[in-house]
Amino acid sequence: MAQLLDAIRDYGPKLELTNTAHLNSIAAWMAMRTGLQRSEVMMMLQELSEAILYYNAQGTPVKLPGIGTFTPSIDRHGTIKVNLRVDKSIKHELNASGVFSGIICNKANINLTDAGFKAVWDSDHPDDPLEI
């Protein structure tokens, strides 16, 4: 029998992501909005990266209002990683009505109940009913 996670994976809402924005395009966009040169923005972003590394390497979290908090951590094998907790304002703004302009796949299934997922799954997979 299929599990609820199978149905959510196949029928749940998903964002269709486009190509990743890289440093050059971000710097050009920021330069257009700030009056800085693209090269100045690129340098500033590189220095920001270096500052995050510097402070995190000392065990110091870095909080950038409007961006998030970068916090170093370690796993049981001794591997150090950096966790990013995105600033609440980004999440709030992105979820404001009309802000997201990308494509949402399975948009009609937003807020679908477990029973609703079962109905959709069972209709498409009569030989493998969903177990909820």
- Beta strands 14-16 and 80-86: pairing type? unpaired
Does residue 78 sit within a domain? yes
- Spell out a b/e string for 102-117, using b for 16 or more CB atoms within 10 Å of the CB, else e: eeeeeeebeebeeeeb
Same domain, 79 and 106: no
1 assigned to some structural domain: yes
Q: Are residues 11 and 23 in the same domain?
A: no
Find the angle CA(25)-CA(14)-CA(127) to the nearest 5 degrees. 150
- What pLDDT is attached to residue 105? 98
Q: Are residue 13 and residue 25 in the same domain, yes or no? A: no
Shared-domain flag, residues 1 and 30: no
pLDDT along the chain (132 residues), means of 10: 94 98 97 97 97 98 98 98 98 96 97 97 95 89
pLDDT of residue 132: 87
Q: What is the pLDDT of residue 93?
A: 97
93 domain-assigned: no
Domain ranges, residue 28 = 19-86
The answer to whether residues 50 and 4 belong to one domain is no
pTM of the model: 0.80
CA 106 to chain centre: 18
Classify residue 81 by its DSSP letter. E
Q: What is the reported pLDDT for 60?
A: 98
Closest CA to 3 of 93, 131, 102: 131
Q: Are residues 11 and 56 in the same domain?
A: no
Output the pLDDT for position 1: 84
Number of independent structural domains in the chain: 2
70 φ/ψ angles, rounded to the nearest 5 degrees = -100, 120
97 lies in some domain: no
Whether residues 37 and 23 fall in one domain: yes
